[in-house]
Amino acid sequence: MKEVLVLGANGQLGQTIKDFSDIELVRFHFFSRKDLDITDSNSLNEVFKDSGFDYCVNCAAYTNVEGAETHTEAAFSINAEGAKNIAEVCKTYQVKLIHISTDYVFDGNKEKPYATTDATNPINQYGKSKLQGELYIKAQLKAYYIIRTSWLYSLHGKNFLKTIIDKVESGVSLNITTEENGTPTSCVDLAAFILHIIKTDSVPYGVYNFSARESTTWYGFAKEIVKNLSPEKSGLISPTKSFKTLAKRPKFSVLNLDKTEEFYKELNTWQESVRLMVSSYKS
C-alpha cells in the first residue's frame, strides 16, 4: 500500500484528487491549510515523522496572481519558503515530492512552446515566488517531480471556467482578452497524470510540463465553455485586445509536452477537456 500525503487539499486540484482517491493499493492523507501550515517547519515535521509517506503531493500555493503584486511577502512565504520546508522534510523522511508549479515562470517572449529546459524569467511576483520554490526543491532533493501547468480549471473552488458559467447563466455580457496565448488545463487531467506517476512508480524524476494539447486565448477558452454550456448565449462573449491588470502576464505561455508524452499518452485537446468538464457540470 502506497501512502500519499496531499497538501492544499481544499484547493481545486486537491479536491479533484479527492474525487479520484478511491484507488486500489494507494491510501491518501489530505491536509488543508487549516490542518497544516506549510510555512511552519515544526508542524510539517510532526505530520511526517512516523507517517511512512511514500509521496507528498504539494498542491498548496498562493495562487492570486494580482494579489501577489501587493502581498508579495505572503506569496513568497507560501510558494517559496513553504516549498523549501516541504523539500527539507521530504529529504529527512525520504518521501518523493510531486510539486505543482506554473507556466508563469516564463516571460512569454518565446514564439513556440516552452520546453522544460528553456530559461526561466518570470515577469510577475507570483511567477517569481513559484520559481524560487522550484529552486529550493532542486537544491534539497533528487526524488522530486516539478510539474509546470497552466490555466487550471475544475468544478471546485474559484477559477475561470466557473466564473464564465456563473456570469453567462446570469445573462451578463463579458469582454474577454485575446492578448494572452496559453492552454487551459483540466484539474481532472492533471490529477490523472499525478496518479499515473504514483501508481507506475517508473517516471524519471525531474521537471515536467503538463497541459492539454493545443492552445488558445482567454477569449477562445470562454467561447468554448459557452459553446458547450448554452450555445444560444455565445453572443454574451466578446473579444477585447487588452485587459488592464496589476500583474504583468506572459503573452505566450504554451508548454511543450514532448517530455511528458514519453511517459504519458493520455493527453486530450483542451477543447475535449472543456467539453467533458462542462458536461460534468450539466449532469
Task: Give residue 10's pLDDT.
Answer: 96
Q: Following DSSP, what letter does each residue of 196-261 receive, concatenated?
A: HHHHH--SPSEEEEE--BS-EEHHHHHHHHHHHH-GGGGGGEEEES----SS---SB-PBP-HHHH
Containing structural domain, residue 17: 2-158+185-213+254-267
Q: All 3 cell numbers of residue 94?
A: 525520504
CATH number for the domain that contains residue 55 = 3.40.50.720
Task: Kindly state whether residue 26 falls inside one of the protein's structural domains.
Answer: yes
Residues 6 or more apart whose CB falls under 8 angstroms from that of 181 comprise 215, 216, 217, 251, 252, 253, 254
Residues 6 or more apart whose CB falls under 8 angstroms from that of 110 comprise 118, 252
Q: All 3 cell numbers of residue 128?
A: 517569481
Task: Kindly state whether residue 7 falls inside one of the protein's structural domains.
Answer: yes
Task: Kindly state whether residue 232 falls inside one of the protein's structural domains.
Answer: no
Residue ranges in the chain whose pLDDT is less than 70: none
Domain count across the chain: 1
Measured over the CA atoms of residue 234, residue 235, residue 240 and residue 243, the dihedral's sign is negative
Task: Give residue 263's pLDDT.
Answer: 96
Task: Give residue 51's pLDDT.
Answer: 93
Task: Kindly state whether residue 135 falls inside one of the protein's structural domains.
Answer: yes
Task: Give residue 22's pLDDT.
Answer: 86
Task: Kindly state whether residue 245 falls inside one of the protein's structural domains.
Answer: no
Task: Give residue 21's pLDDT.
Answer: 86
For the chain, what's the residue count? 283
Are the C-beta atoms of 204 and 259 separated by less than 8 Å?
A: no
Task: Give residue 273's pLDDT.
Answer: 98
